[in-house]
Amino acid sequence: MAKKISLREFQEHLATRLAGAARGEAEPALLGVLAGGENWLLELFDSGEIVPLPPITGVPLTQPWYAGLANIRGTLFSVSDFSAFLGHEPTPHNANARLVLVGARHGSNAALLAARLLGLKRREGLTPLPPLESGPEWARERVEDSEGRCWRKLSVKGLLADPEFMHIGL
């Protein structure tokens, strides 16, 4: 029971922080998620909402990384398995998995399936690393936290503009 209370409190805290980011308050923290065995950071204003994994309905004749459609409070979201899209193993559908609703701010009902939510990271504790020389532009930026862990920064706007990501059909 204590675990459920803690999760509820965390979700309320996160919702408060997201609301602050939406109002434009000073330098909001970044949202950390685990996908493809890597730590990823998203801008809070791009992350929209984080929801526990709902039922996902598969869509035939789509890319293997395209998970399908999820109904979130009466609105259909297009769900992409971010790990599989990156060329890694598909994300397990378990209690830790989360959907990050990333497209609403950019006019798209897109959601990324992530293996786990890692919480919020303060910008002042992050040190820029040299960007990756290869790979998509939306995933080259990297930072290191105070504990020496490497994080990749995801440009949601860049990802949603990537023709490979937007082309889900076979």
- Whole-angstrom CA distances from 5 to 1, 12, 96, 97, 142 are 7, 11, 16, 19, 34
Q: How far is C-alpha 74 from the chain's CA centre? A: 21
pLDDT, mean of residues 75-102: 96
Phi (first) and psi of residue 45, to 5 degrees: -65, -20
pTM for this structure?
0.81
HSE (CB half, 13 Å, CA atoms) of 109? 11
Q: Give the span between the Cα atoms of 117 and 93, in whole angstroms.
A: 14
> Region 130-141: what's the mean pLDDT?
94
% of the chain with per-residue pLDDT over 70: 84
Q: What is the DSSP string of 72-86?
A: ETTEEEEEEEHHHHT
Ranking 56-65, 79-88, 104-113 by mean pLDDT, the lowest is 104-113
Question: How far is C-alpha 6 from the chain's CA centre?
Answer: 21
pLDDT score recorded for residue 2: 47
Instruction: List phi, psi (to 5°) of 169.
Output: -75, 155
For 10-54, what is each residue's pLDDT tens digit? Answer: 666 666 655 555 555 556 789 999 999 999 999 988 877 899 999
Q: What are 41's strand-pairing partners?
A: 32, 153
Average pLDDT rounded to a whole number, residues 100-118: 91
Torsion of CA 66, 86, 21, 95, to 10 degrees: 60
**Residue 91 dihedral angles phi and psi, to the nearest 5°:** -70, 130
